[in-house]
Structure 1
């Protein structure tokens, strides 16, 4: 039996508008040690509907971890992050900003909005997979996150 097996998989919400980045993240997480269910939404409005169980997301599970891109259509990641962290029922969910920007103003701004982590997406495929392994190793295997 896999020592990392859990009775229930970790629920991960990926908020990503790039189909290729979403596919890479899904592939990397599927190869990981931790059983997980990855849920993909493509914009900020959808992300908040998922988290608030609105519209087509009334049966959506509560995520244990959120991977959030900043540059999203409809409502950008900064707005989504601010609304998550302002909501008493959502603010304890760890939010990892996973975005292409390495700008200091974006990094500072997202930490001021109480992001739990900021990671600039590598362009190189091997480095991207490495980053996803680090996310899994730290956030799903080492850190203790709320699982209810």
Structure 2
């Protein structure tokens, strides 16, 4: 047992060195010079999900992939593309998951249908239980 614990402790530095060694993606020096374009880019970036962090937008993430995605957004805005075109390109490239507001399609319809189905099932169960309780109470009153 002591040998196993010793081996685990000795392997910890190896696992720590296996972590990603890249610095966080730069944010400050890559902003656009035009404040209106930067505001438009920032607004678009807040609606796109970082694929590595998954819970952060690409505007807030320090992941290198998010930095690349921010760079693509800014570069494409400078080239004259509209935010909708940029969003469509990113969705085509990375999939529907990259968008915080996915559109209904063949692959995303369950995202919209399953919550409605669950709500219908819960309402059905509640109504059935309430109906049984009322029927039981009415039977108890009739017997008394």
TM-score normalised by L of structure 2: 0.30
Larger Rg: 2
Higher helix share: 2
TM-score normalised by L of structure 1: 0.29
Higher strand share: 1
Structure with the bigger RCO (C-alpha within 8 Å, sep 6+) is 1
